[in-house]
Amino acid sequence: MPKYSAAIISHNLWFNEFNIYLNYVLEGKTIAEVNELSDNENVLQAKTPTRARQISRILGHRVEALPQSIKDLYPTLDVTNQKVVDFLSVMLCSKLMSEFMYEVYRDELILGDMRLDDSEIQAFLTEKQGESEQVAGWTSQTIHRLKGCFKTFVRETGLVMSENNGVSDKVTPIFLDDRLVQTMKDEKLDYELSSLKG
């Protein structure tokens, strides 16, 4: 897994684009070929060529990070679980997102609080600033944007629902498909599975 990175603040779940991208890969196209389709034919339907290039390269990394068995299972899952696979690919590419899910979201499930407050996200980031010189060097604006980024990702995945004008979120655990659970176990993705299930 890479070092901490704040690049995720300019990313999204991009579920529709992820779905298109992964389907091309499952049809037999290489990452390079899908990127070329995005560049030349805008198959991801991005607003600008620059954005198309950015999204395709990020999605390429995410798709590559997923075990083949999970990619193969993806088309047979319902949309809810497909979004989880998309988010799993984000977790596999972002050390910070992965740790946030394990250390903060998982705790909500285990303790039964079922509320994700801004203060808890801030506490997580403050702790990371104390543990990592890299994170400590990030600006207050970057930290603020990361808080919003975490909330956006878990909301778009369906893991939380916004409450109190966005100040807090109600945790809404997803019922994971048994086949996805078993495949994650088989692939030794217990850390990520625990983050999602508690």
136-147 pLDDT tens trace = 999 999 999 999
17 is a domain residue: yes
The total number of structural domains in the chain stands at 2
Signed CA dihedral, 146, 175, 89, 19: sign only: negative
Predicted local distance difference test score (pLDDT) of residue 167:
72
Same domain, 57 and 124: no
- Largest Cα separation within the chain, whole Å, is 49
Q: Which structural domain, as residue segments, surrounds residue 146? A: 89-197
Q: Looking at the predicted structure, is the pLDDT value of residue 29 above 90?
A: yes
Cα gap 82→156, rounded to integer Å: 12
Shared domain for 95 and 58, answered yes or no, is: no
What average pLDDT score do residues 15-44 get? 97
In a domain? residue 101: yes
Tell me: pLDDT of 49 over 70. yes
Residues 18 and 93 in one domain: no
The pLDDT value recorded for residue 1 is: 45
Residue 194 is classified by DSSP as: H
Last residue of a domain, one of 50, 65, 80: 65
- The predicted-structure confidence for 56-107, as pLDDT tens digits, reads as follows 999 999 999 999 999 999 999 999 999 999 999 999 999 999 999 999 999 9
pLDDT, tens digit, 9 for 90 and up, residues 145-184: 999 999 999 999 999 998 877 678 999 999 999 999 999 9
Q: What percent of the chain has pLDDT above 70?
A: 98
Task: Write down which residue in 33, 50, 65 finishes a domain.
Answer: 65
